[in-house]
Amino acid sequence: MKTALTTSLLAASLLVLPAAADEVKPATRPAPGPVMDAMQSAARELQLAQDPRLPLPVQLDNLAALRYSPETAAKLSAIFGNDRPLSFERQQPRPGRLAWRMRLQPLHYEGPDKSRVDWDEALVEFDMDKAGKAVDFKGHWNTLAAEDPAMRLSAEGMTLSGRQRQAADKLWFGNGQLRIARVHGETPATPNAGKDFTMDDLRMDWRTVERPKTVDMQFQQRIGSIAAAGEKVEDVRFDMRIVNIDRASMVAMQAAGERQRAQLKTMTPEQRLAAMKPLLQTFGKAAILRGSSIEIDEISARFHGNKASIRGRIGLAGAVEADLRDLPALIRKIVARFEIRVPVAIVRDVSAIVAVRQGQPPAAGQTITDVVVGKLLGGGFAKLENDVLVSNLEFRNGKLTANGKEIALPKTAPAARSSTGQAPAVVQRSNLPPGALQARRIEDSCRLPDYPAEVVRQDQPLRASFAYRVDAEGKVHEVRVAQASGYPDWDQAALEALGQCRYIPALQDGKPIELQMRWSLVREAGSKRPRDPDPAP
C-alpha cells in the first residue's frame, strides 16, 4: 500500500514534465530532461530501499533515514538546491496511533531550452495503528505546471485519500480516491491549432474487496468534461471490476517476490519476467479454475446531451492449463460480450462536424449519417431502438460477431496479391467525381454464383469483368459483361446476381448521385466461389 502511495505521488509529477510532452520519434526516444532524470533516479532508489517484509512504520523510518547515491544526490541538488526534496517525517500522533507526513518541496525550474517546471508543496499524511496494519491517508497538491517550446501542461487541485487494511496473509484491502480539479494542455507555438484541451473534474476511485478465497478489484473513473477543438464531451465514465482473482495465488506471488527481492534488484525486466513465469502460469491456472473475469460495468460519455455507452464482460470458456503455454489456443478460449449503444443524434452531430471540416456544407452531415447508419443497419451490424443504434458484439472461438453477423478480423500481414501471385480476386472501380463520397454496397443484398464445376474440378483460372450503373436510390441498372469469363452460363448467373445488389448511393455536395461501376475478378487457386463485391473504398 505504502509503495503505491509513494510511487503515485512521484509518478504524478513525472506526467507533466517537459520531456514527457515530447513526441517520440521513430525508433528513438528523447533523453529525459534534467527534472525528469532527477526524479526518476530518486524514485528508483526509493523503490530499491523498500522492504515489504518489514512493518510499515519501520519502512517509513528507513525511508526517512535514506541517503541517495552521490550521483542521484548531485542530480537533485542541481534541480532543487538540495539533495532531500522528498522527506518522510514523524508527526504528533493521536493516542494509540502513529502519524507520518511525506513532503515534496516546491519547485521553480527554468531549463536552458526555455523549458519551465513549477509546482507548489505536495503533502501526504498517514495515520495508522502502531502495527502499521490499518492506515488512513490523505494528501494534496494544488498546482503543477510544465512548459517547453512545443507544449504547455498544467494540473490544479489534486487531492488523494483512502483507507487500507493489511490482512493476516499480508494482502492489503481497502479503497482510495484521487481528485484533480483541472488538467489543461496547449501548444504555445501554434495557438488555436486544434491541439489544446481542458479536462475538468477528474475522479479516480479504486477498491480491493476481500473474500474468503478470492479478491475483487474495482475501478471507477470520471471526467466531468473534456473540451478540445471547439467541442466538449461530458460525463465520461469508465467503471470496471476484475472479479474472482485467486487469493492464494496472489499471496504466493507476493511471497515469491519478497524471497527473490535481492536478485530481482539486479535483473533486467526480461529476466524478472522469466523468473516470475512459473508463478504467472500458476496464477493463470487459478484464474481459469476460479472463473476470473473482467466486468465492464460502464464506459460512457455524453456529446451534445446524448449518451453513448458500452457494457460487457471478458472471460474464458473451456480453457485448460495447457492453453497457458499456447497463446493462440488461449485466445480462442476468450469469450467477450459487449452491448454498444450510440444515439443516431451523436452520429448526426459528429457527421456534421466532419462535413464542415472537409469543406462541405453542414447539411452534408445528414447524408454522411445516412451512409453510416445505412451501412450498419443494412449489413445487420446494428439495430435501431428508439433512435439508438444498438450492437451486441461477441468474441468467441476466435471469431467476432455483431448482432450475430460475423465481422472479418484483420489479417496479421494482409497481402496485396493472392498466393498465386495474381491480382486481388475482387476489385471494384468507379468514375467517382472529385470530392464525392463513394457508393457502398449493402452487405448480403446479393450473392454471386459459385464458379463453374469444371473450373473448380480442374482448378483452372478464370477472369471476368462486369459494368453497371448505380442510380441515386442505390439500385443497380444496365449490368453487362465487360470481359467474358469463357463460361456464358456463369456470366449470365453473375449478371442476374449483380442486378440484385443494393447500394448506399454515392454523394456529391451532400446529394445522392448516379455512378458507373465496374467489378472485376481473378479466380484464386483452390477457391470454389468468388468473394462478393466489397464496399468500394
CA distance 109 to 505: 59
Residue 288: predicted pLDDT: 81
Rounded CA separation 202/224 (Å)? 6
CB atoms within 10 A of CB 329: 14
Is residue 221 pLDDT above 60, yes or no? yes
Q: Which of 21-35, 94-108, 521-535 has the lowest mean pLDDT?
A: 21-35
Given a cut of 50, whether residue 26 has pLDDT beyond it is no
Q: Which residues contact 460 (CB under 8 A, 6 or more apart)?
A: 454, 523
Distance CA 7, CA 415 (A): 45
pLDDT, residue 367, reads: 81
**Cα(218)–Cα(534) distance, rounded to whole angstroms?**
43
Give dist(CA 334, CA 288) in Å, integer.
11
**Residues 502-529 as b or e (16 or more Cβ within 10 Å = b):** bbbbbbbebebbebebebbbbbbeebee
- Residue 244 confidence (pLDDT): 93
**Mean of the pLDDT values across residues 467-496?**
90
- Work out the number of other CB atoms within 10 angstroms of the CB of residue 444: 12
CA dihedral 409→411→412→415, nearest 10 degrees, is -160
The tally of CA atoms less than 13 A away on the side-chain side of residue 49 is 21
Q: Supply 68's cell numbers.
A: 541517495
Q: How many CB atoms lie within 10 A of CB 356?
A: 13
Q: Which three cell numbers stand for residue 158?
A: 489534486
Residues in the chain: 537
Average pLDDT over residues 147-159: 91
Q: What pLDDT, on the 0 to 100 scale, is given for residue 427? A: 54
The CA distance from 38 to 260, in Å, is 28
Give one DSSP letter per residue of 260-280, joined into a string: THHHHHTS-HHHHHHHHHHHH
**Mean pLDDT of the 153-175 span:** 95
Residue type for 314, please?
I
Which segment, 175-184, 380-389, 463-472, is predicted with the most confidence on average? 175-184
- Entry pTM: 0.71
Closest CA to 258 of 280, 273, 274, 276: 276
- Delimit the domains of the chain by residue range: 304-409, 426-522
What local confidence, expressed as pLDDT, does residue 435 receive?
A: 64
- Per-chain mean pLDDT for the chain: 82
CB neighbours of 526 closer than 8 A, spacing ≥ 6?
A: 459
The helix or strand, by DSSP H or E, that contains position 336, with its residue range, turns out to be strand 334-343
Which run of H or E residues covers position 242? strand 231-246
Is the backbone of residue 447 left (phi > 0), alpha (psi -120 to 50) or beta?
beta
**Per mean pLDDT, which range of 110-114, 177-181, 214-218, 533-537 is the poorest?**
533-537
What pLDDT was estimated at residue 81?
Answer: 92
107 in Cβ contact with 80 (< 8 Å): yes
The reported pLDDT for the residue numbered 240 is 97
**Residues 491, 414 contacting (CB under 8 angstroms):** no
H and E: helices and strands count for the chain:
13, 26
Kindly state the percentage of the chain with pLDDT values over 70.
84
- The residues near 223 (Cβ < 8 Å, ≥ 6 apart) are 199, 200, 201, 202, 203, 235, 236
pLDDT tens by residue, 419-436? 443 444 555 566 677 767
User: pLDDT by residue (tens digit) across 135-144?
Assistant: 999 999 999 9
**Per-position DSSP letters for 385-437, written without gaps between them:** ETTEEEEEEEEETTEEEETTEEEPPPPSS--SS-TTSPPPSEEEEE-PPTTPB
Report how far residue 324's alpha carbon sits from residue 282's, in angstroms, rounded to the nearest whole number. 9
Task: Say what percent of the chain tops pLDDT 90.
Answer: 43
- Residues β-bridged to residue 384: 389
* Position 342 pLDDT exceeds 90: yes
Tell me the residue type at 446.
C
Closest CA to 312 of 393, 242, 389, 386: 393
**Tell me: the pLDDT tens digits for 4-25?**
443 333 333 333 333 333 333 3
Q: Identify which of 244, 220, 400, 239 has the alpha carbon closest to the alpha carbon of residue 311.
A: 239
Say yes or no to pLDDT of 100 above 60: yes
426-522: CATH topology: TolA/TonB C-terminal domain (3.30.2420)
CA–CA dist 315, 328 (Å, integer) = 15
Residues 215-232, mean pLDDT to the nearest whole number = 94
In angstroms, rounded to a whole number, what is the distance separating the alpha carbons of residues 61 and 65?
Answer: 6
Judge whether 510 and 363 are in contact, CB under 8 Å: yes
Give mean pLDDT, residues 252-256: 82
Q: What is the pLDDT of residue 47?
A: 82
Q: What is the pLDDT of residue 529?
A: 83
Question: 5-14, 325-334, 437-446, 454-463: which has the minimum mean pLDDT?
Answer: 5-14
Contact 313, 337 (CB under 8 A): yes
Distance CA 68, CA 59 (A): 16
Q: How far apart are CA 343 and CA 1, in angstroms?
A: 42
Please give the biggest Cα pair distance in the chain: 98
